[in-house]
């Protein structure tokens, strides 16, 4: 699928650029909380800029991080793009990314304590695709990794969403942007609701 392929290529290219420019890309293009924050390791003052709502979705915190996100992007994006068409697929992915960033920005700006950390990764968009997959193909069977239990897609999505909510509220798995994941799911759900798309395409 052309858009899914283009997104994966774009993420890989940006990851390669991170290897060259490193912290400077994080300084300018990661999602930072509102306000001005001194980052001694960067020898700089960092702050939120509007473009970070989108650019943060193309940065990653390591090889495993990008590998997992790109694998999930391909896994769920392929069928969602094929079903919705490239135009609507782009709109849904962008809505998920922006919603994820806005939710995460709100949460971290309200709760941030020194030291602050940036948010990076395509997982907001990926969780939006996961939600869309569950809506479009609710009876498709997905396999949990740990433990290896087969679940229908709709139940997989619901359980994953509840786990993310619990982890976000309880503050477990520190360093994971749980509210960005939930925000991505919210953005995709709103777009699908706007389009009145339900489980029409199950198969």
Token pair recorded at residue 201: 């395409």
Q: Tell whether the model's pLDDT for residue 114 goes beyond 60.
A: no
pLDDT at 45: 80
Establish whether the linkage from the previous residue to 115 is cis, with ω within 30° of 0.
yes
Give the separation between CA 199 and CA 66, rounded to whole angstroms: 30
Q: What's the whole-number mean pLDDT along residues 166-183?
A: 71
pLDDT at 92: 97
Q: Tell whether the model's pLDDT for residue 115 goes beyond 70.
A: no
pLDDT at 113: 62
In this structure, are residues 54 and 101 in contact, taking their beta carbons and an 8 Å threshold?
A: yes
CB atoms within 10 A of CB 190: 15
pLDDT at 199: 58
CATH code for position 193: 1.20.1540.10
Residue 21's domain comprises: 2-201
Token pair recorded at residue 20: 């060259």
Q: What's the whole-number mean pLDDT along residues 95-118?
A: 84
Q: Which residues pair with 37 in a beta bridge?
A: 46
pTM for the whole thing? Answer: 0.89
* Residue 57 banded pLDDT, cuts 50, 70, 90: very high
Highest mean pLDDT (candidates 34-43, 61-70, 163-172, 177-186): 61-70
Q: Which residues contact 93 (CB under 8 A, 6 or more apart)?
A: 3, 7, 77, 125, 128, 129
Residue showing tokens 């052309």 = 2
Mean pLDDT of the chain: 85
pLDDT at 175: 61
For the chain, how many structural domains are there in total? 1
Q: Tell whether the model's pLDDT for residue 141 goes beyond 70.
A: yes
Q: Tell whether the model's pLDDT for residue 174 goes beyond 60.
A: no
Token pair recorded at residue 159: 């359980």
Q: What proportion of the chain, given as a percentage, has pLDDT over 70?
A: 87
């Amino acid at each position: 699928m052309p858009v899914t392929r283009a997104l994966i290529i774009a993420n890989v290219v940006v990851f390669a650029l991170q290897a060259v420019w490193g912290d400077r890309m994080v300084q300018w293009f990661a999602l930072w909380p509102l306000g001005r924050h001194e980052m001694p390791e960067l020898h700089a003052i960092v702050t939120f800029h509007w473009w970070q709502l989108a650019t943060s979705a193309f940065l990653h915190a390591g090889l495993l991080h990008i590998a997992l996100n790109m694998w999930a992007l391909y896994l769920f994006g392929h069928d969602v793009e094929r079903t919705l068409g490239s135009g609507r697929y782009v709109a849904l992915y962008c809505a998920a990314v922006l919603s994820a960033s806005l939710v995460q920005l709100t949460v971290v700006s309200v709760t941030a304590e020194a030291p602050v950390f940036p948010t990076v990764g395509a997982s907001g968009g990926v969780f939006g695709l996961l939600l869309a997959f569950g809506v479009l193909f609710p009876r498709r069977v997905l396999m949990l990794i740990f433990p290896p239990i087969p679940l229908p897609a709709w139940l997989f999505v619901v359980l994953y969403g509840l786990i993310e909510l619990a982890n976000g509220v309880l503050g477990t798995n520190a360093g994971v942007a749980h509210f960005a994941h939930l925000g991505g799911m919210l953005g995709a759900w709103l777009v699908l609701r706007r389009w009145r798309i339900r489980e029409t395409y199950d198969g």
